[in-house]
Amino acid sequence: MTGFRGPIVTGRIARPRRRLVSGVALGLWLTGVVWLLSHEVFVPQGEFGPSPRSADAWILMLHAAFGFAALWLLGLLWGTHVTAGWAQGRRRGTGGAVFGLASLLVLTAYGLYYCGDETIRPWIATVHWGFGLAAPGAFLLHRSVGRLRAARRRIF
């Protein structure tokens, strides 16, 4: 859409891109949950104690692949959605929280990959999966605030 002085930037995400973002986010979250359950909750006991599953490594690699795609999409959203919404003053609180949460997940993922200190690593892991589990709630809150405001504008 263009206006008299150039393109009109609304910050809305087109449906195909929204589906891509949602699919990658869902894949990232589901692979994280499956790995967490497999690695921390349903650990098979072998003859010499806890025995890791061979699938854990594959699940973690798939999670990392979704993470890479999510990082790329985060940059895309920054340029098209976040800056436009921020400039318009729309949903800054929930949008800032979602972006901050995503940034924290990126930093803790980096820490998990590169941190060799076994005293700090469990703390980083707990922060990563704790906030990772909460991420869909933050996104749904951000999305619902916009829908509630739109519905209120239609009523009044």
Reported as a single tens digit per residue, the pLDDT across 45-95 is 778 877 777 788 899 999 999 999 999 999 999 988 988 888 888 888 999
Question: Which DSSP letter does residue 2 get?
Answer: E
Give the pLDDT score at 9. 55
**Which residues make beta-bridge pairs with 46?**
49
> Considering the chain, what percentage of its residues have pLDDT values greater than 90?
55
3-state SS of 55-87 is HHHHHHHHHHHHHHHHHHHHHHHHHHHHHHHHH
32 and 129 Cβ atoms separated by less than 8 Å: yes
Q: What CA–CA distance (Å, rounded) separates 58 from 156?
A: 52
pTM of the model: 0.82
Give the pLDDT score at 128. 97
- For the record, the structure tokens of 19 come out as 């589906």
Q: What is the mean pLDDT of the chain?
A: 87
Give the pLDDT score at 122. 93
- Confidence bin at 1 (pLDDT 50/70/90): very low
Cβ-in-10-Å burial (0-12, 13-18, 19+) of 56 comes to middle
